[in-house]
């Protein structure tokens, strides 16, 4: 399961457990492995039971831990809801999970269809997706770890570096899957606030990393950040990597890399080529429109990939592999999706600004708007109008994250927004 919209499964709130999917198995097994010190079998009965309990915690209905990663998360107060019938699902304007609403192009669908002839095989051809990714990034195949969505990368990196009580350093709000996984393996996070302009403070990162160096196992930087949509510039990334302890691993989540227009931004893959302890996470769930197919990857130095691999399930299916290779070749199609997405994002933000509500500048396929009141009941008000909007992102609970949908979906959103909120005569910082 992955990044944004938590898959709603049947079941009642409380202590009921859900059926195990392949992704659930992967998450549970990684958590159980975490109680074995670095993979060795030096484990007491108590620590083993604790690890199993942590793993099972993922499967409880209403858990705050993301079951999927760039993963779908319900708020703490939300219980499980019954999955809607197909017709009802299709009637909703899906603006909650930062997906590519136009879906895969014909070339990708054709490639996936061709892969079905291997559906009954275990040792099937994989379309050489790892080789294609290595070629794309100018690295060797040993620098690539394929995963069931980039959410698996985030979990695997967490398990690799947060054992024995080590902490993850990051900001809040951000994509919180790494924090949830840290909690599940009995670790924790050092969370820094965003600046007043909603950017991530690199000086604060450097200060905290040096002051707490002995406690930190991993630095997490979501760039562009989810939920704000704001970038960390290439100069700021360099400032971060140059300012923290040289051996401190840094996980840079680039799920929304493909939507960025700002020339001050750049991918962090070149730092992998330099041999720095940098792990770049990417996904095919966003611009490539393969969210349901579960495929992502990590780019990192070979020695880091070797450390991560024992915690990875290696369970990417054949259709996802063939589809990913075709998606890598669809450069013009993705450029068109980017252009279309940015135009709709800017138009919708302009409509809301004209109505009196301030939005946060974004470089992604989503944006945030200040609404001036708590988001949780507002989510339900939009749901009643068949529009799904983003979950709460504490402490920014008076902001709403809105994914970019089709032209029709964005028009429906603006109509619903104006029915729910009154017009304002001027914008204010809080919405």
* Tens place of pLDDT per residue across the chain (431 aa): 345 543 333 333 333 333 444 444 444 445 444 444 444 333 333 333 334 334 433 333 333 333 333 344 334 334 455 666 777 899 999 999 999 999 999 999 999 999 999 999 988 888 899 999 999 999 999 999 999 999 999 999 999 999 989 999 999 999 999 999 999 999 999 999 999 999 999 999 999 999 999 999 999 999 999 999 999 999 999 999 999 999 999 999 999 999 999 999 999 999 999 999 999 999 999 999 999 999 999 999 999 999 999 999 988 999 999 999 999 999 999 999 999 999 999 999 999 999 999 999 999 999 999 999 999 999 999 999 999 999 999 999 999 999 999 999 999 999 999 999 999 985 444 44
| Residue that is written with structure tokens 């983003």 in the block | 390
Q: What pLDDT score was predicted for residue 425?
A: 80
Q: What's domain 86-103+332-420's architecture?
A: Alpha-Beta Complex (3.90)
Is 146 strand, coil or helix? Answer: strand
**Termini Cα distance of the chain:** 33
Q: What pLDDT score was predicted for residue 80?
A: 52
Contact 163, 186 (CB under 8 A): no
Query: Residue 315: which of 11, 24, 9 has the closest Cα?
Result: 24
Q: What pLDDT score was predicted for residue 123?
A: 84
User: For residue 245, what is the enclosing H or E element?
Assistant: none
Q: What pLDDT score was predicted for residue 20?
A: 43
Distances (CA, A) of 118 to 8, 115, 124, 270, 319: 30, 6, 6, 36, 9
Rounded to the nearest 10°, the torsion over CA 421, 422, 428, 431 is -10
What fold does the segment set 106-329 form as a domain? 3.40.640
Helix residue ranges per DSSP H, 67-128: 86-91, 106-115
Give the bridge partners for 147, in sequence order. Answer: 296
Domain extent listing, the chain: 86-103+332-420, 106-329
**358 contact partners, CB below 8 Å, separation of at least 6:** 369, 370, 427, 428, 429, 431
Is 305 strand, coil or helix? Answer: helix
* DSSP label of 197: T
Q: What pLDDT score was predicted for residue 86?
A: 75
């Amino acid at each position: 399961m992955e990044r944004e919209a938590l898959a709603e499964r049947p079941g009642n709130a409380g202590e009921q457990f859900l059926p195990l999917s392949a992704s659930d198995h992967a998450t549970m097994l990684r958590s159980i492995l975490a109680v074995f010190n670095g993979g060795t079998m030096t484990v007491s009965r108590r620590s083993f039971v604790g690890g199993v309990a942590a793993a099972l915690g993922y499967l409880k209905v209403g858990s705050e831990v993301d079951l999927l990663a760039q993963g779908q998360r319900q708020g703490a107060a939300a219980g499980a809801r019954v999955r809607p019938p197909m017709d009802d699902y299709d009637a909703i304007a899906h603006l909650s999970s930062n997906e590519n609403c136009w879906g895969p192009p014909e070339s990708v669908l054709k490639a996936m269809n061709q892969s079905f002839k291997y559906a009954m095989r275990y040792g099937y051809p994989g379309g050489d997706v790892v080789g294609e990714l290595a070629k794309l990034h100018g690295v060797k195949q040993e620098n690539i770890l394929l995963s069931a969505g980039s959410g698996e990368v985030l979990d695997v990196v967490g398990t690799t570096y947060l054992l024995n009580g080590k902490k993850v350093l990051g900001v809040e709000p951000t994509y919180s899957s790494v924090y949830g996984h840290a909690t599940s393996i009995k670790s924790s996070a050092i969370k820094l606030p965003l600046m007043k302009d909603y950017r991530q403070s690199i000086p604060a990162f450097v200060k905290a990393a040096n002051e707490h160096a002995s406690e930190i196992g991993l630095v997490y930087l979501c760039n562009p950040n989810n939920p704000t949509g704001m970038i960390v510039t290439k100069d700021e990334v360099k400032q971060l990597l140059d300012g923290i302890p040289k051996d401190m691993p840094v996980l840079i989540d680039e799920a929304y890399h493909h939507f960025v227009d700002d020339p001050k931004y750049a991918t962090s893959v070149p730092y992998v080529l330099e041999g720095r302890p940098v792990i770049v996470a990417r996904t095919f769930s966003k611009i490539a429109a393969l969210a349901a197919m579960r495929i992502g990857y990590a780019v990192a130095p070979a020695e880091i990939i070797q450390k991560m691999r024992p915690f990875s399930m290696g369970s990417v299916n054949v259709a996802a592999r063939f589809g990913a290779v075709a998606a890598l070749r669809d450069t013009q199609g993705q450029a068109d999706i980017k252009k279309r997405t940015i135009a709709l994002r800017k138009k919708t933000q302009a409509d809301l600004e004209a109505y009196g509500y301030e939005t946060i500048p974004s470089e992604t396929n989503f944006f945030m708007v200040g609404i001036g009141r708590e988001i949780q009941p507002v989510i339900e008000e939009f749901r009643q109008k068949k529009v799904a909007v983003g979950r709460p992102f504490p402490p920014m609970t008076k902001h709403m994250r809105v994914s970019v949908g089709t032209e029709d979906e964005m028009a429906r959103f603006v109509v619903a927004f104006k029915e729910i909120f009154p017009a304002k005569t001027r914008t204010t910082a809080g919405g």
